[in-house]
């Protein structure tokens, strides 16, 4: 369904996930439209797929033996599901015009919007906390663990940097605005609030999209397993392709052999037919010759 960049977007005073409590407005904004266009794609590619790939790498035998990497694997898995849910809600609301009022109350409101998002958010937060505690309680401080420490510090810094503005706005500024500002707001005010809220929401979701790149940039073991996984898959794909090519060649050779054999058989059959025809033609002539010889002898 094509959209113009100046299309009016339905926005809500507080949150696009909880619209019934607040008044609705029609906001026409290039920046807000750009966010709604790009956010689902970014979340699916860099949030969902990248975190799933991180989960696959972190669960390889060399890494999953370490408790820290096991925690990080579940952290990536929860971030991938969060990215998928947020992208799904944005796609349903922007491209299909569906909000929580139009969808099933239990599945979309109570399960996905409340239980799944809240559970996965807290699970991600507590998993990150467990990783930090696990690293803090480790007795050994070997030099080879420096990359892992850098990774955890980077994860915590990015988490604080990307999620704090949205949390401050949602908890303090949002409540203050609801108490002090009159409910009869103009469309311009609602539009500006929606742009700010959606921008901070996208900033918070950038944390989900950044974990894969943090693993690549800060941890040597993850990079090694990542490249090893790519090489293994490429080698396996090439091996399968070679097998397919060899099987295709064998099939082609068999077909050629069968074709040649059929040609040889047909030629052989034709030769047999010719020989039979020739023998049939020659046999009456021999009988006639015998009769003529007998007649001559009788005379």
Distance from chain centroid for Cα 12: 31
Nearest to 43 by CA among 211, 160, 206: 206
Could you give the CA distance from residue 83 to residue 6 in angstroms, rounded to a whole number?
A: 27
One domain for residues 204 and 296: no
Cα gap 83→34, rounded to integer Å: 18
Is there a domain that residue 59 lies in? Answer: yes
74 and 111 fall within a common domain = yes
Angle, helix 67-94 to helix 50-58, in steps of 10 degrees:
160
Pick the last residue of a domain from 196, 218, 240: 218
Do residue 87 and residue 227 come from a single domain? no
pLDDT of residue 43: 92
Vertex 95, ends 86 and 124: CA angle to 5°?
5
Point out the domain boundary residue: 153, 186, 218.
Answer: 218
The reply to whether 167 and 229 lie within a common domain is: no
Domain range for 24 is 9-218
Model-wide pTM > 0.75: no
Whether 190 and 99 map to the same domain: the answer is: yes
Per-residue pLDDT at 179: 61
DSSP state of 145: G
Q: Tell which of 161, 185, 218 closes a domain.
A: 218
What is the reported pLDDT for 8? 38
Same domain flag for 227 and 172: no
Q: Are residues 192 and 104 in the same domain?
A: yes
- How many domains does the chain fold into? 2
Q: Which of 118, 92, 80 is nearest to 36 (CA)?
A: 92
Give the integer Cα–Cα distance in Å for 188 and 186.
5
**CA nearest neighbour of 213 among 13, 24, 42:** 42
Residue range 262-280, pLDDT digits in tens: 766 666 666 665 666 666 5
Residues with Cβ within 8 Å of 88's Cβ and at least 6 positions away in sequence, in order, are: 112
List of the chain residues with pLDDT < 50: 1-25, 140, 287-288, 291, 296-299
260 and 183, same structural domain?
no
Q: Is residue 286 part of a domain?
A: yes
Distance CA 54, CA 67 (A): 16
How many angstroms separate the most distant Cα atoms in the chain? 148
User: Is there a single domain that holds both residue 232 and residue 140?
Assistant: no
Three-class SS state of 9: strand
CA-based torsion, 6, 10, 13, 16: positive or negative: negative
Residues 109 and 224 in one domain: no
Same domain membership, residue 271 and residue 124: no
* pLDDT tens digits, one per residue of 101-132: 556 655 666 666 677 888 888 898 889 888 88
Together in a domain, 254 and 143: no
């Amino acid at each position: 369904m094509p959209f113009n960049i100046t299309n009016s977007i339905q926005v809500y005073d507080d949150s696009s996930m909880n619209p019934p409590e607040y008044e609705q407005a029609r906001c026409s904004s290039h920046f807000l439209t750009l966010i709604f266009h790009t956010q689902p794609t970014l979340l699916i590619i860099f949030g969902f797929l990248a975190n799933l790939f991180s989960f696959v790498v972190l669960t390889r035998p060399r890494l999953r033996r370490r408790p820290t990497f096991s925690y990080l694997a579940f952290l990536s898995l929860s971030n991938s599901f969060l990215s998928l849910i947020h992208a799904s809600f944005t796609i349903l609301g922007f491209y299909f015009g569906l909000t929580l009022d139009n969808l099933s109350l239990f599945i979309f409101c109570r399960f996905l919007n409340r239980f799944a998002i809240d559970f996965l958010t807290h699970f991600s937060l507590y998993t990150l906390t467990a990783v930090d505690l696990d690293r803090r309680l480790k007795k050994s401080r070997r030099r080879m663990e420096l990359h892992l420490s850098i990774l955890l510090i980077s994860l915590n810094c990015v988490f604080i940097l990307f999620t704090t503005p949205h949390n401050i706005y949602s908890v303090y500024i949002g409540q203050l605005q609801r108490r002090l500002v009159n409910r009869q707001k103009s469309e311009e005010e609602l539009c500006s609030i929606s742009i700010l809220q959606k921008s901070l929401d996208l900033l918070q979701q950038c944390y989900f999209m950044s974990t894969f790149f943090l693993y690549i940039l800060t941890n040597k073991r993850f990079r090694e397993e990542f490249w090893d996984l790519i090489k293994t898959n490429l080698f396996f794909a090439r091996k399968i392709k070679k097998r397919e090519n060899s099987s295709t060649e064998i099939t082609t050779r068999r077909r050629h052999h069968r074709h040649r054999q059929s040609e040889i058989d047909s030629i052989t059959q034709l030769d047999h037919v010719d020989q039979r025809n020739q023998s049939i033609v020659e046999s009456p002539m021999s009988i006639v010759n015998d009769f003529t010889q007998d007649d001559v002898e009788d005379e």
